[in-house]
Each structure stands twice: as structure tokens, then as C-alpha cells.
């Protein structure tokens, strides 16, 4: 905290460069602070209010109506849309799929990301190239990745051909057409797409782990595994917690990959809350119902974010979010 304070003060001194020895009057500094705050805060606050808060208020309003999108909002139905969404078996399926993707992300993507980040943090030949290779899929747009994998996973497509070529023909399946497999195919593509992001995040976190701590532990006789487990991972925990947060929110909002590859099908086997919203809100022009799904998704995401913030991120964000700096 003290470091932050001094850095802020020092920065301010450099920026303003008043006549040395003649500090600006207190009222002048206060005015400048207000101007700075206004200039810095108004654009993001305006954007946030305009593109997040106001649409959410509209969505909440629309969700109380049976509205096709055409004509005036005059068919008030109270919470009927909410009962439709919350009791709908397909919505339950969609929610379950989001939860499965989120859980699998944490159980599979996280350990793989950590492992690869630790590997790529070492001085290995071709490290830059390897880092680039694992990060490359993340740079692709979701639409591009989805179209590419849709083609690769076609029956008798390149993936099947590869499996056959290496003698694993027994593993060939209808990756996107099987109702029991399609969700996991989509998850595999999502993992391919996003693993690079996790690795880069964790690599950045690893830069914050002091080398001297690991060296000291090694001198004291700790094995590499012990160094990783007792020194590196605990110091990487804040980054891991942030990654989990982003991953779960991303899993709850999964749309593009699924929509392009499967449209949530076959028979809703890969539907997510957002594909459900698109099918039932937009395609079926039930905009009131679609707005309801948005509100429910917003509440689920908000509750998760608040609970996670309260119990998992509290230490990491202490001072930055929970109280004013300085």
C-alpha cells in the first residue's frame, strides 16, 4: 500500500513539474484531481451505463411482456416468462451443459495450462516458437475456429482420416452428430481455442514468482516437484483464481463456437443458455422470452461473480476493489 501511495505521488510530481519549492495551492490541486477524475471516469461510466446498465433495464422490462418484437409492448404477463424459462426442460439442459463446460474447464484446461506454462517458462530450445504455437488458436476469431473444426470433424473428415492413419480407427465417431458426444467435441475445440490464453496468463503470473525463492528452496534440498508445489503454485494462486473466474464466466456465456458448429443440436444435445436464448428469443421472435433468458443468465453470472469475489478473490483484490486506494 505504501508503495502504491508513493508511486502515485511520485508520478504526480513528475507530471506536473511545478516550480520547485512552490507547491500548487491546495484548492488548485483538488480542482485538478476532480478534472482528472472526470476526464478519466466519464467515458467508461457512460459506456458502461449506455451499453450494460440501460440494456439490462430494458431487458428486465421486456421480460415482463409477451412480445414478438413487433408493435407496442401491451401484453403484460408478469413473471410468466420466468416460470417458462425456469421450468423449461430444454433450459435445464442448456444450464447443465454450461455447468459441465465450466467444470471440465477447471478440471482439464487448468492443469494442462499450468503444466504447459511451467514447461514454457523453462529455458527450452524453441521456447518462443512453442509459446507462439500454443497462443495462436486464441488469436483466431471464434467464428474462424468453429468453421475450421466443423470441417475437420465431418464424418470421414481429416480428424477421422488421421485416426485411421495411425491405427486408431476404432475411435472414429460422429463427433458432432452423436447426441452423447457432441458436447464433449465442442468442449475439446473450446479447450484448443482457449488454452493459449490460460498459458499466457499463467506465464505472466510466473514472472512474478521470485527466482531467488525457488533457488533458496533448491539449495535447502527441495526437489523440483517440491519447489513447484510449495513455492511456485502457491505464489501463482492469484493468477489461477483469476483464470478460474474468467473461464467460468466464459463457459456460462459460450455461444459462437457452439452456434456455428452445431446450433445447439442435434436435439439440444449441445445447447447452451445463449443458443437457447437465440433459438427461443430471436429465431422464434419471442423477444420478451429471450430477454427473460438474458436476465436469468445475467443473474447467474452476477451471483457467481459476487460469491467468487467474496470468497475466492477477496485476498487478491483487497485494497483494489474492496476499499479505496490511498
Partner 1 sequence: MRGSRKPAIAGIAVAAALTIAACSSSTTSSTSPATSAGSSTGASAKVTLTWWNNGNTQPLLGVWQSVAAAFHAAHPNVTISINAIQSDLFTTKMPIALKSDNPPDIFQQWGGGQESTQFTSGKLANLSSLTSSWISELGAAAAGWQVNGQQYGIPYDQHVVGFWYRKDLFAKAGISSPPTTIAQLESDDAKLKAKGITPIALGGGSRWPDAFFWEYFAVRECSQSVLQSSIKAVNMTAPCFSQATKDLTSFMATNPFQGGFNATQAQTGAGSSAGLLANGKAGMELQGDWETSVVPALTSNKNILNELGWFPFPTVPGGAGNPTAVLSGGDGFSCTTGASEPACAEFLQYIDSTPVQEELVQKANVGLPANSAAEAVLTNPALVAAAKAHADAAYDAEYFDIAFPVNPGQALDNALADFFAGKGTNSTIINSVSSSSGH
When asked if residue 151 is in the footprint of partner 1 (CB under 8 A), the reply is yes
CA-to-CA separations, 154 to 65, 66, 151, 163, in angstroms, rounded: 42, 40, 5, 13
CB-CB neighbours of 293 under 10 Å? 27
- Judged by DSSP in three states, 140 sits in coil
Considering the complex, state which of residue 142 and residue 198 has its C-beta at the smaller distance from partner 1: 142
Only segment of 50-58, 197-205, 215-223, 260-268 that touches partner 1 (CB under 8 A): 260-268
- Judged by DSSP in three states, 147 sits in helix
Residue 178: CB minimum distance to partner 1, A: 8
What gap in Å lies between CA 117 and CA 136, rounded to an integer?
Answer: 15
Residue of the chain from 280, 291, 296, 297 that contacts partner 1 (CB under 8 A): 280
What gap in Å lies between CA 187 and CA 30, rounded to an integer?
Answer: 53
What gap in Å lies between CA 91 and CA 275, rounded to an integer?
Answer: 10
When asked if residue 176 is in the footprint of partner 1 (CB under 8 A), the reply is yes
When asked if residue 279 is in the footprint of partner 1 (CB under 8 A), the reply is yes
When asked if residue 75 is in the footprint of partner 1 (CB under 8 A), the reply is no
What gap in Å lies between CA 30 and CA 243, rounded to an integer?
Answer: 38
Residue 201: CB minimum distance to partner 1, A: 24
DSSP string for 20-89: TT-PPPHHHHHHHHHHHHHHHHHHHHHHHIIIIIHHHHHHHHHTTB---SSS----B-TTHHHHHHHH-H
Residue of the chain from 266, 304, 308, 316 that contacts partner 1 (CB under 8 A): 266
Residue 279: CB minimum distance to partner 1, A: 7
When asked if residue 294 is in the footprint of partner 1 (CB under 8 A), the reply is no
- Judged by DSSP in three states, 94 sits in helix
When asked if residue 85 is in the footprint of partner 1 (CB under 8 A), the reply is yes
Residue 179: CB minimum distance to partner 1, A: 6
When asked if residue 68 is in the footprint of partner 1 (CB under 8 A), the reply is yes
Only segment of 47-55, 57-65, 152-160, 304-312 that touches partner 1 (CB under 8 A): 152-160
Binding residues for partner 1, per CB under 8 A?
68-71, 84-85, 88-91, 141-143, 146-147, 150-151, 154-155, 157, 174-179, 182, 255-256, 259-260, 262-263, 265-269, 279-280, 282-287, 289
Amino acid at each position: 500500500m505504501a508503495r502504491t501511495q508513493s508511486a502515485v505521488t511520485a508520478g504526480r510530481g513528475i507530471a506536473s513539474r511545478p516550480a520547485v519549492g512552490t507547491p500548487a495551492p491546495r484548492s488548485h490541486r483538488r480542482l485538478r484531481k476532480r478534472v482528472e477524475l472526470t476526464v478519466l471516469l466519464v467515458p467508461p461510466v457512460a459506456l458502461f451505463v449506455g451499453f450494460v446498465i440501460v440494456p439490462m433495464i430494458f431487458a428486465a422490462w421486456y421480460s415482463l411482456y409477451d412480445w414478438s418484437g413487433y408493435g407496442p409492448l401491451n401484453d403484460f404477463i408478469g413473471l410468466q416468462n420466468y416460470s417458462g424459462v425456469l421450468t423449461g426442460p430444454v433450459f435445464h439442459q442448456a444450464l447443465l451443459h454450461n455447468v459441465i463446460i465450466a467444470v471440465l474447464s477447471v478440471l482439464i484446461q487448468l492443469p494442462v495450462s499450468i503444466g504447459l506454462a511451467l514447461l514454457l517458462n523453462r529455458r527450452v530450445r524453441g521456447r518462443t516458437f512453442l509459446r507462439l504455437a500454443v497462443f495462436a488458436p486464441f488469436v483466431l476469431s471464434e467464428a474462424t475456429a468453429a468453421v475450421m473444426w466443423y470441417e475437420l470433424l465431418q464424418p470421414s473428415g481429416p480428424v477421422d482420416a488421421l485416426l485411421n492413419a495411425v491405427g486408431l480407427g476404432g475411435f472414429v465417431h460422429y463427433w458432432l452428430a452423436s447426441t452423447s458426444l457432441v458436447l464433449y467435441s465442442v468442449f475439446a475445440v473450446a479447450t484448443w481455442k482457449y488454452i493459449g490464453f490460460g498459458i499466457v496468463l499463467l506465464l505472466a503470473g510466473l514472472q512474478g514468482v521470485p527466482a531467488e525463492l525457488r533457488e533458496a528452496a533448491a539449495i535447502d534440498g527441495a526437489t523440483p516437484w517440491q519447489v513447484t508445489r510449495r513455492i511456485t503454485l502457491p505464489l501463482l494462486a492469484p493468477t489461477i483464481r483469476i483464470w478460474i473466474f474468467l473461464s467460468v464466466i466464459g463457459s456460462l456465456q459460450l455461444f459462437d463456437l457452439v452456434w456455428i458448429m452445431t446450433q445447439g443440436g442435434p436435439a439440444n444435445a449441445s445447447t447452451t443458455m445463449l443458443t437457447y436464448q437465440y433459438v427461443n428469443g430471436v429465431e422464434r421472435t419471442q423477444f420478451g422470452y429471450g430477454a427473460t433468458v438474458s436476465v436469468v443468465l445475467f443473474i447467474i453470472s452476477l451471483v457467481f461473480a459476487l460469491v467468487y469475489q467474496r470468497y475466492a478473490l477477496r485476498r487478491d483484490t483487497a485494497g483494489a476493489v474492496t476499499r479505496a486506494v490511498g
